Structure 1
């Protein structure tokens, strides 16, 4: 089978080192996933100018035949491109994905799709009308432990789900300041805010496993109203940047299934709990627990040794569940930050629709976030 021909938007000469993400650095994660897979071939790069795209091609030592574009319109009209990858700042996701969809190209867009729910709905409808396949970079969907949780719930290993409790910690405290490059994380209406990114990446596997909320209540709290911003050298560039995104998020409600559920997220510098994410799902015949160590981001946690899934049947002992799978070498050989993205690419190429989120999957998360904001009670 011929490889899927990819046009990548957003890869520049910055290097991703596993730390703070700057413009273009996450594109390296996509480049690694694409270049190692036999299912894909990178045929074009698109940046703000064709010259920048050419410099990126040279910097990453790509095939000289790789096309360089400075316009998404030109990229989307290229008949030799099957899949367009949107890996830029969130505020540009909607416009770039829309152009690709209007030209009947498959799209892999990073998450979130937009900060506007109506724009998300528009993208979903465009994909449906054009019969176009889509992927969203909500990388937790690729995590093997979370896929096992889904399998156990679907197979009724704990009977019918009665309740769910998810307690999450995000190592993104603002009390000591933040790099200016990630200030958007602090803006409630910013695309990559603590709600959209910090919480949204947890909501995707939650809704995939348990479904959507029928009724919901939300409480937000921002403890630090302002914070310092630093440049790359550590100098303070803004001593009192206004913080509008909540540091503490509490959600509870009733799911469409009738089960009750709660989700809490706290953004502090460290965690007293050894688990950064602790998800307990209780059923009529038992209980499941998923955990990953503190300090991990759920979407890029990829080391099998770090996650644990426990199964407790009411009439049996608690057992640790083995969730390992045999994966092809081009997936298993990549690093922890890359592997879940590589898994999404692999699932898309092999037709494993449960292994990657689509725009419709992401719509459910965006809808939930939109509802949360509308009903939220702000604690003083």
Structure 2
């Protein structure tokens, strides 16, 4: 797709080319994206006495999963020609924590200031995918960081599955986070994307989700699914949970791809899997081995992972050594695994994981 189009023109071109289906709810947000594009395209004064560019109100798009929020943000991002940065929110916060740690090594009193200064010097547009706050430390950091970015004229576009007032809902000391919510609502246009269709579910409709055995054919078929979802674009996603890093090797637009060893071969626990299930809407998990007394710890972690995915209604696409009922045939835990096998079967059903409330 060529650049230098309005976002509305880019959307129309994608519809004409058959890459998108016209959706009134999606079309309803295009004027806001074009507003941001036009304002950021205005010339910025340079020189010794230049002032910070006038603030361009950003956009907070929220709504159910699979409604096209990330697609619309990416469509606008491609047509906005200013210094910019686009990241999944979890990946961005991981970068922020790393930069804060480096700043502290220099002995600065306020380690957030140099991180904000670095961003302000490099970008005019910051695009986030799937903003969510689950940690009080992140809540405090992101509040101060955004305050500095907004003051310097950086524009933010973000997507989220929840409205601003529900961010960090019921979190510890949430009253300390409320000024940030007020700042978001003051400096960004809040727009609900209330589309009726879950396009991510539509893309996966009729797709086989459990491949056995985990052989070359299964790998090839999963690769086809991944390529269709990711369009060849992915990046690792690191979730920092209680001081630990959980790394998903491949991630794109809410879909993660990892091996059994990546997630169950390491000493992870329920908190890690709950955070993972909250961060991704579809998990592709490859090479689940036969389970039993020889890999008892890995099997226990797999049970915990499946429970977390099931409760979060996260779609699971996987390859395994055997059908669910035959994955765990012997040893301690085989009886308890019957519930996991039942859940794995249920999660293969057509339409499982559709958000009934979205």
User: Normalised by the size of structure 2, how large is the TM-score?
Assistant: 0.28
Per chain length, whose mean CA-contact separation is higher, i.e. which structure has more relative contact order (CA < 8 Å, sep 6+)?
A: 1
Q: Which has the greater radius of gyration? A: 2
Name the structure with the higher strand share.
1
Name the structure with the higher helix share.
2
